[in-house]
């Protein structure tokens, strides 16, 4: 009877091998999540100081947390399967559920914010740029980086800078826009606002496209990997039941 119970596709040995293969793929997904999360933080967080909402960085940090947990949780699952320890498998299942929730939350937040990004940029970007440029180190750097990278000037157009607090209060500068608006940036190069000298198109649309693309990446990865956690939960539960039947006293 025991021999029969240990044969076939639902045997302990088969389920263990499947769980080991799953954990190998699980670890790869964790490494990928960590790599993408670090890449998003290092390369894509330049402009979050220009936004009111913290949804974009929160979604990124949720992916990072998921990736870190996956590395640890995979080891717990392998130990539980190798030693027939149901407690570790139960712990593994609970952690998989937690990772599932983190990834789902990251994905949902990203997709929800993607729909609201247009209104936020339209409502706040111009005001943030005009009131904070030169007076906030973080925001000034973010604005200069944005204008240089996207080759744009102002929120709607270069003319927005005429109403900036910086130009009104700085009596020394001869600029009509920041130096980062220039096609060849140099000190006070924006004293002439001719199209051959500075960028005339605004940054709002390019910043919106930037956030949309990266939020789509976060949302797709977060929601896509949720399916992987469901498979892991099912495998762990099946293995726990099989161990309970074949080794009733293996509680620990």
Give the number of other CB atoms < 10 A from CB of residue 57. 15
Q: Give residue-wise pLDDT tens across range 192-208.
A: 989 999 999 999 999 99
Give the number of other CB atoms < 10 A from CB of residue 91. 17
| Contacting residues for 240 by C-beta, under 8 A, at least 6 apart | 86, 89, 90, 93
Q: Show me where the domains of the chain are located.
A: 2-140+212-246
* Mean pLDDT across the chain: 87
d(CA 35, CA 43): 12
Q: What does the pLDDT average to over 178-188?
A: 93
Q: Give residue-wise pLDDT tens across range 12-25.
A: 788 888 888 888 88
- pTM, 2 dp: 0.79
Q: What does the pLDDT average to over 117-134?
A: 90
Task: Say if CB 88 and CB 76 are below 8 A apart.
Answer: yes
Q: How confident is the model at residue 37, as a pLDDT?
A: 86
d(CA 218, CA 40): 9
């Amino acid at each position: 009877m025991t021999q029969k119970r240990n044969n076939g596709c639902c045997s302990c040995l088969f389920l263990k091998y499947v769980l080991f293969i799953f954990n190998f793929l699980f670890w790869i997904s964790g490494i990928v999540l960590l790599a993408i999360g670090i890449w998003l933080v290092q390369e894509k967080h330049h402009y979050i100081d220009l936004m009111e909402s913290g949804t974009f960085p929160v979604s990124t940090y949720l992916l990072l947390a998921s990736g870190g947990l996956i590395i640890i949780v995979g080891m717990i699952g392998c130990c539980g399967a190798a030693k027939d320890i149901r407690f570790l498998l139960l712990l593994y299942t609970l952690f998989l559920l937690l990772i599932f929730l983190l990834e789902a939350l990251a994905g949902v937040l990203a997709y929800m914010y993607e729909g609201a990004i247009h209104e936020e940029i339209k409502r706040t970007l111009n005001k943030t740029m005009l009131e904070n440029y030169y007076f906030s180190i973080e925001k000034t750097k973010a604005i200069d980086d944005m204008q240089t990278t996207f080759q744009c000037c102002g929120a709607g157009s270069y003319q927005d800078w005429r109403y900036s607090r910086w130009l009104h209060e700085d009596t020394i500068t001869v600029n009509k826009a920041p130096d980062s608006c220039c096609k060849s940036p140099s000190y006070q190069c924006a004293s002439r606002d001719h199209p051959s000298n500075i960028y005339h198109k605004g940054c709002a649309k390019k910043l919106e496209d930037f956030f949309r693309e990266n939020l789509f990446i976060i949302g797709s990865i977060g929601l896509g990997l949720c399916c992987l956690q469901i498979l892991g939960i099912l495998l762990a539960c099946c293995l726990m039941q099989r161990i309970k039947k074949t080794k009733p006293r293996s509680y620990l």
